[in-house]
Structure 1
Amino acid sequence: MRKRTGLNRRFKREASTSTTAYTMTEMFEEFMLIKKGEGLARRTIAEYYENYKYFKNYVGRELSAEEMTTELFVGWIEYMLEEMNYAPATVNIRVRTMRAFVRYCYEDKQWINEPIHRRFKPIKAPIDVVESFTPEEFRRLIGAMDETTYTGFRTKVVAFVLLDTMVRVGELVSMKRRNVDFKAMSILLEAEDTKPRKARYVPISPRTAKLLGEYMAETEDFGSEYVFLTYEGERISESTVREDLRVAGKVAKITDKRVSPHTLRHTGALFYILNNGDPFSLQKILGHSHMNMVRRYVQMTNNDVQNQHSAHSPLNYVFK
């Protein structure tokens, strides 16, 4: 088994002149007080703790400030890539959390004497091709849902809302009845329920509004503030949404792609662009602050590019 290089080397370093008596976990807890004070979503806070747990498990024990070295953290990256065979994207998620932590320890608190964050950086990762459905696959997916059952009809409405609004699954299950405006044809996502912690409106089309209106009328007697509910009238969970879609995908015989809320979000973004939507309004609908994230969502197949070029070739403009 490959040795943990960082762990073997860390004891060869000269002792630090740092005088802090804090353990690494105590330092991390103080760091998290700052992050919580920034108003991060509960989901994000949980991810910080989860990523710290992965690093702590790698180390295998508590560390002092003197034992927190560049070699240790760089060795962790090597361990995740070569021993655990994690994808670069997974490695980078964990690295970003710990890099923010060690930067805080060095720049804000001077607990450690080494600028670990300057060498402990996310690795360069290839941009994955984002999966999306074809129109025919989406029609098959919704056709596989049994509308005569409560779960089947709910899953169909969920699929339409996910594709049409391109919301995240966490935003979907947090939607509240009071924020659905059928006159304005939009849904308000409250700040505390969105990943970037910013409220935004997402438009809905007439087809989605019709289905959503029927579903909300059926569930009105439950008296819940939430839109999507279980058979018992409780707020639906993200895992239930994922499982319902997975089962529908299996019935629809979509086996070469992951049938998930995120795939529907990707698909909606791609269809929006292919239907002549502009990337700037798409950015606002998706809730992204940077256009580079939008670019990832709208990666087109070769056929998509060919069709777009045929319709919008520069020569078409010259010789129209």
Structure 2
Amino acid sequence: MSKKPKIRMYSKKGINVPNQSNQEELSIRTLFDLFLTEKSIEGLSERTIYDYNVHFDYLMNFLGEDITNTQCNKELFRSYIAYMLHEKGLSPVTANVRIRTIRAFLRYCYLNDYIDVAIHEHFKPVKTKEDTLESFTPEEIKMLLSKVDEYSYKGFRDRVIIYVLLDTLVRCSELVSIKRKNVDLKAGFITLESNDTKTKKGRSVPISNKTLKLLKEYIGITDDYRSEYLFLTYEGELLSDNTVRRSLAEIGEKAGVNKRVSPHTFRHTGALFYILNGGDPFSLQKILGHSDMSMVRKYIQMTNTDVKKQHNIYSPLNNVFK
């Protein structure tokens, strides 16, 4: 395995850096702080800002030290991509999450004249296999639920969470932000407020009768906490998305499910089951909260077995030989 590239490879001692003496010299750490400030003003969620910081730290670890805007060039960032893929062995999907953050940052620097060259246009997310999203089978969901102790507060809460994730297709950040007042048990809807969604657009998601029954019981149990939020810890504090992720991962380990047991996997699974059960992609798009139908398509990738089952039901020959 080759050694990790050092920042000196990209300094004036190595690759010749274009002369940008007409610009004020600023560290990229300082520029990234300015970038985050602008993103905060735009209304990005705390979770997204946190993720941006994490992704930037990965870049800084690669560089080994802070650099200035005058040292930035496309070769540096292409080397960073190669490092993630070939030395760290990251999957294209993981690498792309970090690449998108860095591209957004460099675009900000270019548009605000901190760098002269549109470096972000010289590297793009790497190609990934189309079928990258995992889904659970019905049997795996039953295995997960069988390992939840519904007679304890935490276990019952986690059971309700699994039902809500699978039934409403909400993101984890949206789940923990749900307020009690947003749950309409009579109409069968949960309202997601605009400040709590990834797209900053509010939406209402329907709830099935099975989930409604559990929610009604859970709301009754947590009434004494006097909290405005729906999902709480045993002490009555607001549940964090990290706690939800850890709890689901622990359930998956107990159940022996050899897939990533996460809120997002339930979202993928729910979207796929929605279509397999006869739902249409347009109402699914609205429930998911996506403005682009291409994103919906990624959520409903089917296995050959899924396609075979659907074909048996909807084969054109069924209209001929009824």
TM > 0.5 fold call: yes
Q: Secondary structure at the match of 2:163?
A: helix
The one-letter code sitting in structure 2 at the alignment partner of 1:214 is: E
Alignment of structure 1 residues 131-150 onto 2, 5 Å = 131-150=134-153
Q: Residues 198, 250 of structure 1: CA spacing in aligned structure 2 closer, same or farther, 3 A cutoff? A: same
Matched residues, number: 318
Is 2:164–2:211's contact at 8 Å kept on the other side of the alignment?
yes
Aligned-residue offset at 1:10: 4.7
Alignment of structure 1 residues 161-176 onto 2, 5 Å = 161-176=164-179
Query: Gapped runs of 5+ residues in structure 2?
Result: none
Aligned to 2:256: 254
Aligned to 1:8: 9
Aligned to 2:43: 39
Q: Residues 144, 23 of structure 1: CA spacing in aligned structure 2 closer, same or farther, 3 A cutoff? A: closer
The one-letter code sitting in structure 2 at the alignment partner of 1:163 is: L
Q: Residues 6, 87 of structure 1: CA spacing in aligned structure 2 closer, same or farther, 3 A cutoff? A: farther
Equivalent of 1:56 in 60, 67, 70: 60
Aligned-residue offset at 1:80: 1.2
Aligned-residue offset at 1:245: 2.5
Tell me, yes or no, if structure 1 residue 238 matches structure 2 residue 256. no
Q: Residues 151, 111 of structure 1: CA spacing in aligned structure 2 closer, same or farther, 3 A cutoff? A: closer
Aligned-residue offset at 1:313: 1.5
2:141 and 2:23 mapped to 1: Cα distance?
61
Is 1:6–1:74's contact at 8 Å kept on the other side of the alignment?
no
The one-letter code sitting in structure 2 at the alignment partner of 1:222 is: Y
Q: Secondary structure at the match of 1:303?
A: helix
Aligned-residue offset at 1:318: 4.5
Is 1:81–1:88's contact at 8 Å kept on the other side of the alignment?
yes
Q: Secondary structure at the match of 2:222?
A: helix
Larger CA deviation: 30-39 vs 279-288: 30-39
Tell me, yes or no, if structure 1 residue 189 matches structure 2 residue 192. yes
2:132 and 2:75 mapped to 1: Cα distance?
33
Aligned to 2:305: 303
Is 1:18–1:112's contact at 8 Å kept on the other side of the alignment?
no
1:278 and 1:53 mapped to 2: Cα distance?
41
Aligned to 1:121: 124
1:234 and 1:103 mapped to 2: Cα distance?
39
Q: Secondary structure at the match of 1:48?
A: helix
Query: Alpha carbon RMSD of aligned pairs, Å?
Result: 1.9
Aligned-residue offset at 1:172: 1.2
Aligned-residue offset at 1:221: 0.8
Aligned to 1:223: 226
Is 1:5–1:75's contact at 8 Å kept on the other side of the alignment?
no
Is 1:10–1:72's contact at 8 Å kept on the other side of the alignment?
no
Query: Gapped runs of 5+ residues in structure 1?
Result: none
2:11 and 2:73 mapped to 1: Cα distance?
7
Instruction: Percent identity, please.
Output: 51
Alignment of structure 1 residues 243-282 onto 2, 5 Å = 243-251=246-254, 253-282=255-284
Aligned-residue offset at 1:247: 3.3
